[in-house]
Every structure is written in C-alpha cells, then in structure tokens.
Amino acid sequence: MTNRRDLPLERSADLPDHVVENRRHWDAAAPQWVANGERNWARDEPEWGIWGIPNSELPLLPDDLSGLRAIELGCGTGYVSAWMRRRGASVYAIDNSEQQLATARRLARLHGLDDIDWVHGNAETVDQPDASFDFAISEYGAATWCDPYRWIPEAHRLLRPGGRLVFLGMHPVALLCSPADGSGPLATSLERPYFGLHRVDWTGVEQDPGGIEFNLPIAGWFALFRRVGFVVEDFLEPRPPAGAEAVSSHATALWARAWPAEQVWKVRKAD
Ligand SMILES: C[S@@+](CC[C@H](N)C(=O)[O-])C[C@H]1O[C@@H](n2cnc3c(N)ncnc32)[C@H](O)[C@@H]1O
C-alpha cells in the first residue's frame, strides 16, 4: 500500500494534506469499488445513495442534458458521468485517484462511451476556464472528501450564471453519530460537537478507516452558499422506505428511518 511518504515530493508538496491523504486512501480502496461501479454503469436509470433511490423519486439528474457541458467533481468509477453522457451532455470528469479513474476508463471502453474527459486532479482547483459548465454534480466525491470552503467556490467559478450544482453526501447528523474510533455502524448518541463541524480526520483513530472528510452544520452550508453566490433551490434528506436494505453497513435502515443519513443540495449560480 502506498503511504504518504512514498508520493513524489512535488506532488505532495503542491497539494493540501487532506488531498494527499485522500489520494492514498482512494488508490488503496479502489478495488473494493469496482463491483459497485460495474453495477451502476450497467444501469440506464440512475439510482442514488445508500438506499438506491431511483432518479424518478429523487431527481438529481434532468432527463435531458442535450447540448449542455457537465462536470462531475470526484467521479470515482464514473457511472454518474456515464448517466450524464447518455442524457446528451458533454462530460468532464475529475477524480483525485488514478486507480478509481482506471476503473472508469475501463468501463467507459466496455460501454462504448469514448468521449468523456477523465481527468486526474483535485476538484478544489480544476484546470478549466471560468463559466465553462452548465451543470455540476458530486455523489459522495467532492461532496464528502473536499473542503467545502475550497470546492464550493471552485464549483461556482466553473459554472455559467444560472448553472446548477447538485450534490449528495452524508448528512451532518450522520457524521455526528459516527463512532469516534472509526468503527461502525452509526450510533444513537452524539459522538462529536455539531457547532464547528468541518474536518473529520479518520487517520490514526483506533479502527483507522483512513481518509479525511468534510461537512458543515446546516447553517454553515447556507452561509457558504450565500457568501459564494449560490441560490439554494432545494435541500433534501432522503429517507429509506420501511424494510429497505442499505448497500453499506455504516447506516442501517432502522437508523435512517429515524435520523437523516444523507443530504442533497441543489443550488443555482445567481444570474
Ligand atoms: C465514494 S467515491 C464517489 C464517486 C462515485 N460516485 C463512485 O461511487 O464511484 C469518492 C471519490 O472521491 C474522490 N476524491 C476524493 N478527494 C478528491 C478530490 N480532492 N478531488 C477529486 N476527487 C476526489 C476519490 O478519489 C473517490 O474516487
């Protein structure tokens, strides 16, 4: 397994420490995400989040993206980008992990989608011009692993006036209930303070799942969007149907029937 000290100096020196750690973490974890990527690439109708809620019930992607330029921030194995390409968008997909991108490129070849731009880089600083995208999305990519105070202003810069950003990730309440030692599943007690919630470092804790993730209190998200120039169009807390089965063991359906495990933000760059 690669460790931070093995990275070439110029790469680790140029990147914030959380980006270096998350690159190490995701390069190592990539093999565990191949099967999920394969399943989702094979789907025409998107399914979202821990509960696999269909896009018809939780509409994160418009049915028609013809003529639009779209970006996925933290594309992982790339299936959200595939869904956008099949809906007519031209797609730029950036991810911090070469190993995740290797899966995305292989599945793109397999499914005959040869014109998605797969880019290795940090979604907090994207090498594309201002106002060059109509639509931006993140599903547990930048939404979880990038610092909101860096990636939200960057998404705003990349979008044209009127352009939309949609993202799905863990709800701050779920992070409050994540055991501090890095184990699972979600607890029914508060494991860390809500106020001041920002950076959660999973390296070096007892169970060490690795990686550094981010979230904000709800008021913090609202304040950030307002300051940056995004108008909030919707905020959703997807809830599993009774008896649903989670694809991850972190949040059980019983837990998530009572508390919000996931959040969806839909925001629009002010004209
Ligand atoms: C759970 S995956 C989500 C992506 C996709 N929905 C999937 O499941 O394949 C998280 C992804 O975020 C990426 N990521 C983490 N930090 C990033 C950063 N700073 N810039 C771009 N991507 C990042 C990781 O490399 C990883 O592929």
pLDDT in tens, 105-159: 999 999 999 999 999 999 999 999 999 999 999 999 999 999 999 999 999 999 9
Q: Scanning the structure block, which residue is given the tokens 């025409």?
A: 44
pLDDT at position 83 is 98
Tens digit of each residue's pLDDT (9 = 90 or more) over 221-250: 999 999 999 999 999 999 998 878 766 668
Q: Is 59 exposed, middle or buried (0-12, 13-18, 19+ CB in 10 A)?
A: middle
161 vs 230: CA distance, rounded Å: 10
148 vs 225: CA distance, rounded Å: 10
Is residue 139 within 6 Å of ligand 1 at its C-beta?
yes
pLDDT at position 5 is 37
Count of CB atoms within 10 A of residue 256's CB? 23
178 vs 240: CA distance, rounded Å: 19
CB 63 within 8 A of CB 43: no
Is residue 174 within 6 Å of ligand 1 at its C-beta?
no
CB 246 within 8 A of CB 254: no
Kindly list the distances between the CA atom of residue 54 and the CA atoms of 48, 70, 71, 79, 251, in Å, as whole numbers in the listed order.
Answer: 6, 21, 21, 14, 19
142 vs 72: CA distance, rounded Å: 9
Is residue 20 within 6 Å of ligand 1 at its C-beta?
no
Is residue 122 within 6 Å of ligand 1 at its C-beta?
yes
Tens digit of each residue's pLDDT (9 = 90 or more) over 28-63: 999 999 999 999 999 999 999 999 999 999 999 999
Is residue 26 within 6 Å of ligand 1 at its C-beta?
yes
Tens digit of each residue's pLDDT (9 = 90 or more) over 60-110: 999 999 999 999 999 999 999 999 999 999 999 999 999 999 999 999 999
For strands 47-48 and 53-54, give the pairing. Answer: antiparallel
Count of CB atoms within 10 A of residue 147's CB? 17
Which residues, in sequence order, are CB contacts of 123 under 8 Å at separation 6+?
73, 74, 94, 95, 96, 138, 141, 142, 146, 151, 154
42 vs 51: CA distance, rounded Å: 18
In 187-237, which ranges are continuous DSSP H helix?
218-228
Instruction: Provide the pLDDT confidence category of residue 6 given band limits of 50, 70 and 90.
Output: very low
99 vs 30: CA distance, rounded Å: 6
Neighbouring C-alpha atoms within 13 Å toward the C-beta of 207: 9
Ligand 1 mean position, distance from CA 147 (Å):
13
Q: Whose CA is nearest to atom 10 of ligand 1?
A: 141
Atom of ligand 1 nearest to the CA of 140: 3
